[in-house]
Amino acid sequence: MSSLNLDDFTDLIERPDGGVRRDAEARRERQIVPPGALGRLDELGEWLAAARGTVPVRPVERPRVVLFAGDHGVAELGVSARPAGGAEQLVRAVLEGAGPVSVLARRLEVPVRVVDMALDCEPDVFPKDVTRHRVRRGSGRIDIEDALTVEEAEAALLAGVAVADEEADSGTDLVVLGDVSVGGTTPAAVLIAALCGTDASVVTGRGGVAIDDLAWMRKCAAIRDALRRARPVLGDQLQLLAAVGGADLAAMTGFLLQCAVRKLPVILDGVVAAACALVAQRVAFRAPDWWLAGHDSGEPGQAKALDRMALEPLLEQGVKVGEGVGALLALPLVRAAAALAAELPEKPAAEETAGAEAAQAVEAPETE
């Protein structure tokens, strides 16, 4: 049995500073561009000010992409267009600068960190800084067996906590969170279906590389079978991650929780990050206040999870590749919101006074 008490996160996580947010809203009222004219950028700037505790909001200067990597045994069923155990090649492409996230990160000057939690390869094929948090080689086939032991799930979750602490301590001021996996969207769909009380068909998508109809049916059947195994442990989030999650998903859940503890804002990528966020929300209901949904990937499970957490995607580009790509595309939008909130000048005091007097004159009752 686990000695980890997830309820501690509920006590440790606070909401972003409401007083600072009100100050940010008041400052926005005083700026020369009318409130509402910038659409969601207003809301983003105010959220970021509250999350960072300052008005005017500080710019995002040290963002970082953090990707948790792992292989999933359920991929053996042909539920993914990629071969089972193929996440090693995806990680290699990221590290060598050939992955989509690497290309974007170079352009945006954002460092990328990959954390191997359960790749199905020898650990010495990657640098120690990638593999030092690894829990096991591959996660179990969740339609017939547990993904992890409870002890492994705890170790993975605590590894995610440790990575969050490392990022916060190093000065990272915003995280773009994603995954590098083969088969990862299947356990993600299981977690979402279990926590939202829906059937397998409602959450089964086509994955990052679109699968054909036969593979979709195999995936739907695997999710259905795994759901039967998930329902008896719904009340225990650690056992749920052990039964139908995986080491990378457990680590991402711990990472999200500890980022909320450390008041470190996170942009979520696709369905895997959304599933982990949903588990984390079950652990600590205030945690989602520290997260943004970067984009809508088109995966039905992601839409279900984000709706449950009341998170609205910033972008709708249909990016399905994973690896944090969709969330990284949203980073310039967040930076733009911070810049506008901090740098737009305020209206001259005389103009504000005249505006206030005009408003009072309109509102004043007529006298005889």
Instruction: Enter the DSSP assignment of 192.
Output: H
Q: Answer yes or no: 323 catalytic.
A: yes
- The confidence score (pLDDT) of residue 25 equals 94
**Percent of the chain scoring above 70 in pLDDT:** 93
- The confidence score (pLDDT) of residue 212 equals 87
pLDDT per position as a tens digit, 301-348: 999 999 999 999 999 988 888 899 999 999 999 999 999 999 999 988
pLDDT per position as a tens digit, 112-154: 999 999 999 998 999 999 999 999 999 999 999 999 999 999 9
Q: Residue 87's closest CA among 19, 178, 152? A: 178
Residues 6 or more apart in contact with residue 309 via CB below 8 angstroms: 274, 277, 278, 281, 288, 291
- The confidence score (pLDDT) of residue 205 equals 85
As a whole number of angstroms, the distance between CA 148 and CA 152 comes to: 6
Q: Residue 104's closest CA among 328, 333, 318? A: 328
- The confidence score (pLDDT) of residue 206 equals 80
As a whole number of angstroms, the distance between CA 197 and CA 231 comes to: 9
CATH code, residues 63-330: 3.40.50.10210
* Position 352 pLDDT exceeds 80: no
Secondary structure (DSSP) of 57-100 = PPP--SEEEEEEEEEBGGGGGS-SSSPTTTHHHHHHHHHTT-SH
* Position 78 pLDDT exceeds 60: yes
- The confidence score (pLDDT) of residue 368 equals 44
- The confidence score (pLDDT) of residue 99 equals 94
- The residue extents of the domains of the chain are 63-330
Which amino acid makes up residue 26?
A
Catalytic residue among 14, 167, 323, 363: 323
Instruction: Enter the DSSP assignment of 267.
Output: E
Mean pLDDT of 90-104: 96
Is 227:192 a contact under the CB 8 Å cutoff? no
- The confidence score (pLDDT) of residue 366 equals 53
Helix, strand, or coil (residue 143) = coil
Task: Quote the pTM value.
Answer: 0.92
- The confidence score (pLDDT) of residue 360 equals 60
Cross-strand pairs, 175 = 64, 266
Mean pLDDT of 269-273: 96
Mean pLDDT of 231-248: 97
Print burial letters for 199-231: b (CB count within 10 Å at least 16), e (below 16): ebebbbbbbbeebeeebbebbbebbbbbbebbe
Provide the pLDDT confidence category of residue 26 given band limits of 50, 70 and 90. Answer: very high
pLDDT per position as a tens digit, 189-237: 999 999 999 999 899 988 766 788 899 999 999 999 999 999 999 999 9
- The confidence score (pLDDT) of residue 152 equals 98
**Percent of the chain scoring above 90 in pLDDT:** 85
Average pLDDT, the chain: 92
Other C-beta atoms closer than 10 Å to the C-beta of 171 total 9
* Position 359 pLDDT exceeds 60: no
* Position 259 pLDDT exceeds 70: yes
Tell me the backbone φ, ψ of residue 181, rounded to 5 degrees. -150, 160
* Position 288 pLDDT exceeds 60: yes
Mean pLDDT of 7-30: 95
